[in-house]
Amino acid sequence: MKKVGRSSILVAAMLLAVAIIAEAQQPKKVQRIGYLGATDAAGESTRSEAIRLALREFGYIEGQNIAIEYRYSEGKVNRFPELAAELVRLKVDIILVSGGDRLILAAKNATTTIPIVMTGGGLDPVEAGLVESLARPGGNVTGITNLTGELGGKRLELLKEAVPKLAHVAVLDPASRSSLREVKEEPYHCPSFIRFVEATSAKN
């Protein structure tokens, strides 16, 4: 019995060794990244280069163990669905979206299985229907977002702490509806801030 047991263990070890060697001899799969940008190659060059350098630090080198498929809409919103669908047809392993809510949503509508990474910009991803919640996004969309609306009030709060006697704040770009909304709709703001913002906006 002991002899049979030793033989079984030896055979199992040999089979395991053969399996490991066979796996090691097989070429490693080149991961394919889909890069979806809202502008053009020149406009995205700074961001895409930073991403390439970050990947290189983790051992992922374009042309060696990763391939990147770049698609740019060149500012044409009607091309969003087409470009997203093209990346899905190429069967990329992940889609990195460099743009606002509509571009992210186009990618989300194109696939429910390929992971989508958003790189900021846009509105609250929950309000935009991109994720179920910040704590539990669900689905296949993840990444970072600026959350500019929520941060607007926090910025004023920090400014007030830094300058306690602060009584009025001007919006430098009152023509921008989103900038104005950020400082008017947050519950933190005192009435004097809101009145001044409204007055400044009316003058412009």
Please provide the average confidence, as pLDDT, over all residues in the chain: 75
Distance CA 127, CA 108 (A): 15
Q: Using CA atoms in the order 194, 199, 200, 204, what is the torsion angle rounded to 10 degrees?
A: 140
**pLDDT tens, residue by residue, 50-95:** 888 888 888 888 888 999 999 999 989 999 999 999 999 999 999 9
Residue 171 pLDDT: 63
Q: Is pLDDT of 190 > 70?
A: no
Q: Is pLDDT of 24 > 60?
A: no
